């Protein structure tokens, strides 16, 4: 079943399980050593990571088509979570169905390697189509709010995230070490590691609040520590997964750290605006799926264009 | 044969729709009864309510689950009636029985005595989507008559957005299912109804729901 997968990608996926084993061992030790403290959320979090890594690794190992479908499902879950979270109008029920329909079409462009359609389908055509259908229903009360918030959701959950999927179909010539899957793994591993890094550095050294009005838990120390760890990690894994030399790897690490932070606080701002703590309850210990992919909505498009501009 | 069809319908269509296309946020799942007899009392906004409540239980319990549904609506046509009775497994309820001096829950007693789980919507109808209307008192009489059958209140949110009354195209939304503790048996039907209403209000107050207008 791993036939089509390049050796470096197989090693990287195996490595993820190594990280999970270490994380589980550390959690187990913490629970044993400090029995009076409540580690339930941490335990749940690590458990959810096992499930997420397994689904991701399976999708990557089975075939490129399965990987695309997997990422399409992630977009669907994120958009569904977003639309369940925000106020919507009863009149727009069927418009939302059209918005969902944009997902398979967007991922179809990727599978067919139609970059031109991929890059304009949502920002141009869905942007024009959805308000047109809404107008057809004739309800002007709250029109701008509804059209605006729906498009924001599509851009974030579908358009932005699908850039991660387009990495998969980039030709192997541009990345002989690990192909399109290598670019994707590099992006996803660094983005998620950056989240964990910022959280851990913040817990250990956090003093100065980075965005008190939006996300009181975020600190400058966590942000900088996370960005540094991410950059070091980028330097370490780039030779195996990407075509980057050390300078390109360092720049990628730096902007993934920075953009990941912005993506995180952007979703936090929405949650704060709506008065909810988590975007959902799909991933025990993490919250919803938007809580997990928030950083990726910023890092994926930036990383994709960085790679495409310099290597294709 | 029909039992197999019912099993396949729930395994291959209902569950994937409820758990993947929609997605449930279930709070206090541990309060669901592990075996019958029991009555689940939920608010009602959509046909999907019934399917979602049935999907909370393992498929091995499917043959024990029976929604109580209005006979005049569900048995109005032959084909739909067959589907409602045998595939969904409804117990028909005669909404006008009490006016005639008959017992509307006539069809419910026997399944309860065989340790089945009944799903009841005390509002009596789906009504305006995402708005709770007053509960009908029938359930209080049933509660009085069957003091040993636990009655579990369940608050549902979101299904009216998925498929409101009068619409036939479902739209995916994550939905909420908040399970309450079994209701204590109050002295009178009025007291039971007050307890049920207040328990439902408490459950609904646990969630934060976006505006939908």
Q: What is the ipTM of this complex?
A: 0.90
Confidence at B102, pLDDT banded by 50, 70, 90: confident
Res B129 pLDDT > 80: no
Tell me whether residues B213 and A100 touch, CB distance under 8 A: no
Please report which confidence band the pLDDT of residue A280 belongs to, taking 50, 70 and 90 as the band edges: confident
Residue A190 in domain: no
pLDDT of residue A169: 94
For residue B122, being part of any structural domain is answered with yes
| Nearest C-alpha in A relative to B19 | A282
Q: Would you call B23 an interface residue with chain A, using a CB distance cutoff of 8 Å?
A: yes
A–B interface: beta-carbon pairs under 8 A? 51
Position A223 scores a pLDDT of: 95
Task: Give Cα separations from A244 to A236, A249, A256 (angstroms).
Answer: 11, 5, 14
Place of tokens 């079994």: B182
Please report whether residue A126 resides in a domain: yes
Q: Which helix (H) or strand (E) holds B26?
A: strand B24-27
Judge whether residue B97 has pLDDT over 80.
no
What is the C-alpha separation between A157 and B86, in angstroms, rounded? 41
In a domain, A50, yes or no: no
The number of domains in chain A is: 1
Q: Which pairs with CB-CB distance under 8 Å and at least 24 residues apart come from B12-21?
A: B14/B51, B14/B54, B14/B55, B15/B55, B15/B59, B17/B51, B17/B170, B18/B48, B18/B51, B18/B52, B18/B55, B19/B55, B21/B170, B21/B172
Average pLDDT of every residue of chain B = 90
- Give every CB contact of residue B89 below 8 A, 6+ residues apart in sequence: B6, B65, B66, B67
Q: How many CB atoms lie within 10 A of CB A312?
A: 11
- Residue A124 parent element (H or E): none
The answer for residues whose C-beta is within 8 angstroms of residue A213's C-beta and 6 or more apart is: none
Residue at A34 is within a domain: no
- Is residue A226 very low, low, confident or very high in pLDDT (cuts 50, 70, 90)? very high
Q: Using the predicted structure, report yes or no on whether residue A307 has a pLDDT greater than 90.
A: yes
Q: What is the pLDDT of residue A1?
A: 46
Residue A196 forms part of a structural domain: no
Residue B213 lies in a domain: no
Spatial distance between the Cα atoms of B85 and A309, rounded to a whole number of angstroms: 62
Q: By CA distance, what is B23's nearest residue in A?
A: A282
Scan for tokens 């979090």, then name that residue. Answer: A45
User: Could you tell me which residue, A106 or B211, shows the higher pLDDT?
Assistant: A106
Which chain B residues contact residue A94 at CB under 8 A? Answer: 169, 171
Q: Is residue A264 part of a domain?
A: no
Task: Residue A125: give the domain boundaries.
Answer: 64-169
Would you say the C-alpha torsion A85, A88, A94, A100 has a positive or negative sign?
A: negative
In A88-218, the DSSP E strands lie at: none
pTM: 0.93
Residues of chain A neighbouring B16 (CB-CB closer than 8 A) = none
Alpha helices in B28-151 (DSSP H): 48-54, 71-74, 78-82, 109-113, 138-145
Quick check: A94 and B161 CB within 8 A?
no
Range of the domain at B159: 2-205
Residue A104 placed within a domain: yes
Backbone angles phi, psi at B178, to 5 degrees: -110, 120
Q: Cβ(B15)–Cβ(B6) under 8 Å?
A: no
What is the band of A211 on the pLDDT scale with cuts at 50, 70, 90? confident
**Is-contact A285 A42, C-beta < 8 A?**
yes
For residue range A179-192, list pLDDT tens digits in order.
999 999 999 999 99
SS3 A177: coil
In a domain, residue B210? The reply is: no
- Is the CB of residue A292 less than 8 Å from the CB of residue A286? yes
How far is A90 from A133, CA to CA, in rounded Å? 14
CB contact under 8 A, B174 and A84: yes
Give the strand order in the sheet containing B91-93.
B24-27, B175-179, B151-157, B38-42, B117-120, B65-70, B91-93
**Range from A204-213, B10-19, B122-131, B155-164 carrying the lowest mean pLDDT:** B122-131
Given an 8 Å threshold on Cβ–Cβ distance, is B164 in contact with A280? no
* Residue labelled with tokens 């959805």: A130
Structure tokens at B133: 């209307």
pLDDT at B198 over 50: yes
B167 within a domain of the structure (yes/no): yes
Count Cα neighbours of B194 within 13 Å in the Cβ-side half-sphere. 6
If you search the block for the tokens 């300078």, which residue do you land on?
A247
The radius of gyration of chain B's CA atoms, rounded to the nearest angstrom, is: 16
- Per-residue model confidence as pLDDT tens digits over A70-84: 999 999 999 999 999
Domain for residue B128, yes or no?
Answer: yes
Q: Under an 8 Å CB criterion, which residues of A touch B?
A: 76-77, 80-81, 83-90, 93-94, 96-97, 100, 142, 274-276, 280-282
Collapsed DSSP state (helix, strand, coil) of residue B212: strand
Average pLDDT over residues A37-48: 90
- Residues of B within 8 A of A83 (CB-CB) are 172-173
Strand partners, B27: B178
CATH number for the domain that contains residue B47: 3.40.1130.10
- Number of structural domains (chain B) is 1
Report yes or no on B183 lying in a domain.
yes
Please check whether residue A70 lies inside any domain of the structure.
Answer: yes
């Amino acid at each position: 079943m791993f036939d089509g997968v390049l050796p470096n990608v197989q090693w990287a996926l195996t490595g993820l399980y190594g990280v999970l084993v270490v994380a589980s061992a550390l959690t187990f030790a913490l629970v044993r050593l400090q029995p009076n403290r409540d580690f339930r959320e941490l335990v749940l979090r690590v458990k959810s990571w096992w499930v997420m890594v397994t689904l991701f690794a399976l999708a990557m190992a089975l075939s490129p088509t399965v990987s695309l479908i997997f990422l399409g499902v992630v977009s669907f879950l994120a958009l569904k979570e977003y639309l369940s979270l925000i106020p919507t109008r009863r009149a727009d029920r069927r418009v939302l169905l059209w918005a969902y329909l944009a997902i398979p079409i967007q991922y179809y462009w990727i599978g067919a390697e139609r970059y031109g359609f991929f890059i304009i389908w949502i920002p141009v055509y869905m942007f024009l189509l959805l308000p047109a259908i809404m107008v057809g229903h004739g309800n002007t009360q709250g029109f701008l709010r509804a059209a605006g918030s729906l498009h924001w959701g599509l851009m974030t959950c579908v358009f932005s995230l699908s850039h991660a999927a387009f990495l998969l179909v980039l030709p192997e010539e541009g990345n002989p070490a690990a192909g399109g899957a290598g670019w994707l793994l590099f992006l996803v591993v660094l983005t998620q590691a950056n989240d964990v890094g910022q959280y851990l550095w913040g817990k250990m050294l956090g003093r100065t609040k980075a965005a008190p009005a939006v996300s009181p838990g975020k600190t400058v120390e966590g942000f900088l520590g996370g960005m540094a760890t991410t950059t070091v990690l980028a330097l370490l894994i780039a030779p195996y997964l990407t075509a980057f030399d050390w300078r390109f790897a360092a720049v990628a690490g730096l902007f993934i750290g920075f953009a990941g932070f912005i993506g995180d606080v952007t979703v936090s701002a929405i949650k704060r605006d709506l008065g909810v703590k988590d975007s959902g309850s799909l991933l025990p210990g993490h919250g919803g799926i938007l809580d997990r992919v928030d950083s990726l909505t910023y890092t994926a498009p930036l990383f994709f264009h960085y790679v495409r501009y310099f290597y294709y | 044969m029909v039992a197999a069809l019912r099993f396949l319908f729930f395994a291959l269509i209902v569950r994937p729709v409820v758990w993947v296309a929609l997605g449930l946020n279930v709070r206090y799942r541990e309060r669901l009864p592990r075996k019958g007899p029991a009555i689940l009392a939920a608010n009602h906004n959509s046909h999907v309510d019934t399917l979602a409540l049935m999907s909370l239980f393992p498929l091995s319990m499917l043959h024990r689950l029976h929604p109580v549904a209005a006979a005049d609506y569900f048995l109005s046509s032959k084909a739909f009636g067959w589907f409602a009775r045998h595939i969904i497994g409804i117990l028909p309820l005669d909404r006008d029985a009490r006016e005639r001096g008959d017992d509307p829950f006539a069809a419910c007693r026997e399944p309860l005595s065989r340790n089945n789980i009944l799903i009841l919507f005390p509002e009596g109808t789906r009504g305006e989507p995402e708005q709770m209307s007053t509960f009908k008192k029938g359930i209080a009489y049933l509660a009085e008559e069957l003091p040993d059958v636990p009655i579990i209140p369940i608050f549902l949110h979101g299904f009216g957005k998925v498929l409101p009354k009068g619409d036939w195209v479902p739209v995916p939304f994550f939905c909420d299912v908040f399970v309450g503790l079994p209701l204590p048996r109050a002295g009178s039907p009025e007291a039971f109804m007050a307890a049920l209403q207040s328990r439902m209000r408490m459950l609904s107050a646990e969630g934060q729901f976006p505006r939908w207008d």
